[in-house]
Structure 1
Amino acid sequence: MGKRPLSAEEAALWARVIASVRPMRLPAPPKPTAPPKAPVAPAPEPPAPVKKVRGRVPAPLPRPVKPAAPRPLTANTLDGSWDRDLSRGRTVPDSSIDLHGHTLSSAYVRLDAALDFAIQSGQRVLLVITGKPPRAESERPHARGAIRAAIGDWLAGSRHGTHIAAVRPAHPRHGGTGALYIILRRSTEHRNR
């Protein structure tokens, strides 16, 4: 479609509009500044000179202690009788928590609260019902088994990790592959009772 020429009135109006327009003044772009310098750590102080005493050898400086590597929760931290009783279904859980129907975040909060209660009350075995893991032949991605898949990481990074002696699969009478036993260490507070 071609442009039509402006009429005399339109041309006069357009000329007045153009005459009234003033160019915008844009602010000058900010000058680039040098990135802030990282704070310089002060040089470590040299160790205090060891006083030399005649006839004596100064005691060696203590070696720095490396923190222990986190132990996997399925490690063999239980004696044989525990594992035997768990595998035969002889151990009765002190309490249980069912995480079915929860989102990952609400399941984590419930598990943390259950662990806190179990530890505070001196319980030894907490049964956690997570739901069965997805079948091998199920189509991926599948929503089933998300809590079961995450629970190991949750427990390993839990604030209660030092209180957990082991995690074992549950006996079929307690849920089988859809549940876990969390075996808690006996606290010193509850040992003396």
Structure 2
Amino acid sequence: MSRRKLTAEEIELWRKVAKQAERMHPEIPQSVHPATLPKPKPTKTPKPRFEAFEVGQTAAGKPARHALKPTIGDSLRASPVQMDTKAFGRMKRGKIKPEGKLDLHGMRVDTAHPALIRFILSAQASGKRLVLVVTGKGKDRDEPGPIPTPRGVLRNQVPQWLTLPPLAQAVLQVAPAHISHGGDGAYYVYLRRTR
């Protein structure tokens, strides 16, 4: 809001009042008419040198739990869906029957990896879309040590093999199987179409 200018009558009234009043500082020269006062500058409140401090204000509430590597099933469940979401939901509920099955029970790593490559590439070449790879849940270790070891070598290796060449170009989605198809001991592998 802007200030209005004083009228001539108001200035004359002010002069009469000023003549009757005693000056507080007679050494300062008297002006002819009152000058407009400058706008007051906002005053800044000084910041305290030190902020208030309470014991333990920066301490964490609870100690963090050990951040162990998530299980293969958890990491596969958290991965984004690459295929049709309706088909993915039906597959996870066990409603889609796999068109092929590879059972890796009792195989060692050196024989299981070539068998997996051969099975996946031949299934894609024959036009299959959903296959089941059974790895088994693995055996519990006899001596549990201070370092946690994953249970089941093939169970942990098969999802990694499916993301590496030459299988990466053939595989669209990997998911843990439904309990009716093997549960945690098997994986659904959804294959890309051949072009």
Distance 2:190 2:113 in 1: 18
- 2:183 paired with 1:181: no
Paired residue for 1:80? 85
Q: Decide which of 169, 175, 193 is 2:176's aligned counterpart.
A: 169
Distance 2:140 2:187 in 1: 18
DSSP 3-state at the match of 1:77: coil
Unpaired runs of 5+ residues, structure 2, are 1-74
Closer/same/farther in 2, CA of residues 105 and 185 from structure 1, 3 Å limit: same
Distance 2:160 2:96 in 1: 25
**Greater Cα offset, 153-162 or 171-180:** 153-162
- 2:117 paired with 1:112: yes
DSSP 3-state at the match of 1:90: coil
Q: Which structure has the larger Rg?
A: 2
Q: How many percent of aligned residue pairs carry the same amino acid?
A: 33
Paired residue for 1:45? none
Distance 2:133 2:179 in 1: 13
Distance 2:108 2:151 in 1: 11
Kindly indicate whether the alpha-carbon contact (under 8 Å) linking 2:121 and 2:170 is maintained by their aligned counterparts in 1: no
DSSP 3-state at the match of 2:169: helix
Q: Decide which of 100, 107, 112 is 1:95's aligned counterpart.
A: 100
Aligned length: 117
Distance 1:136 1:88 in 2: 31
**Greater Cα offset, 140-149 or 114-123:** 140-149
Distance 1:128 1:138 in 2: 29
TM-score by length of 2: 0.54
Paired residue for 1:32? none
DSSP 3-state at the match of 2:172: strand
- 2:144 paired with 1:146: no
DSSP 3-state at the match of 1:162: coil
Q: What letter is aligned with 1:167?
A: V
Kindly indicate whether the alpha-carbon contact (under 8 Å) linking 2:120 and 2:170 is maintained by their aligned counterparts in 1: no
Paired residue for 1:157? 164
Query: 1:78: how far off?
Result: 1.6
Distance 1:80 1:173 in 2: 21
RMSD: 2.7
TM-score by length of 1: 0.54
Distance 1:100 1:144 in 2: 14
Unpaired runs of 5+ residues, structure 1, are 1-71, 189-193
CA deviations over 1:37-90 (Å, ceiling 9, x no partner):
xxxxxxxxxxxxxxxxxxxxxxxxxxxxxxxxxxx9843102221221012111
